[in-house]
Amino acid sequence: MAIAIVVFVVFLDQFTKYLAAKYLMPVGSYPVIKHFFHLTYVENRGAAFGMLQNKTLFFIVITVVVGIVLIYSMIKLPENSLYNYTLAMILGGAIGNLIDRVRLGYVVDFIDFKFFPAVFNIADSFIVVGAIILGYLMIFKDGIR
């Protein structure tokens, strides 16, 4: 099941980025709910909030190392555990952004809540949600078993 989650996240991320590049790049931004939620095409050459701009090789190396650690952890954990599913969400998101960095040299972002200081994408969303769930499990469910 964890492998299916990784594949689903990568597919959904890459498909939505394809749509963003095809339809948003020419217009820049499309207000879905004016002044609240827009679809905005951004080529992010950094990390979260645009930090460490143009450090593509650094991000590729870090993502590969983290990916290896995640895969190793998933192998060591019980196959159908919630921990494994959250690691799969994080891994799928990391792979989605890694594909962009290797293929394009930047990550395509397009989800733009106007009250939030950064534009992000599906991969980022899965990484953050997976990390929050994992943190919750580790803190409130007596750690990883």
pTM value is 0.88
Q: Is 120 helix (H, G, I), strand (E, B) or coil?
A: strand
| Average pLDDT of every residue of the chain | 90
Asked if the model's pLDDT at residue 56 lies above 80, the reply is: no
**Distance of alpha carbon 122 from alpha carbon 100, whole angstroms:** 13
Q: Is 142 a catalytic residue?
A: no
The residue annotated as part of the active site, out of 13, 100, 112, 124, is: 124
Rg (CA), the chain: 16
**Distance of alpha carbon 70 from alpha carbon 115, whole angstroms:** 32
pLDDT score, position 42: 94
Residue 87 token pair: 């690691």
**Distance of alpha carbon 78 from alpha carbon 84, whole angstroms:** 7
For the chain, how far is it from start to end, CA to CA, in angstroms?
19
pLDDT score, position 45: 86
pLDDT in tens, 115-140: 998 899 999 999 999 999 999 998 88
**Distance of alpha carbon 57 from alpha carbon 136, whole angstroms:** 32
The sign of the torsion formed by the CA atoms of 52, 56, 60, 61 equals negative
The residue annotated as part of the active site, out of 13, 100, 109, 112, is: 109
Q: Is 124 a catalytic residue?
A: yes
| Average pLDDT of the segment spanning 71-91 | 91
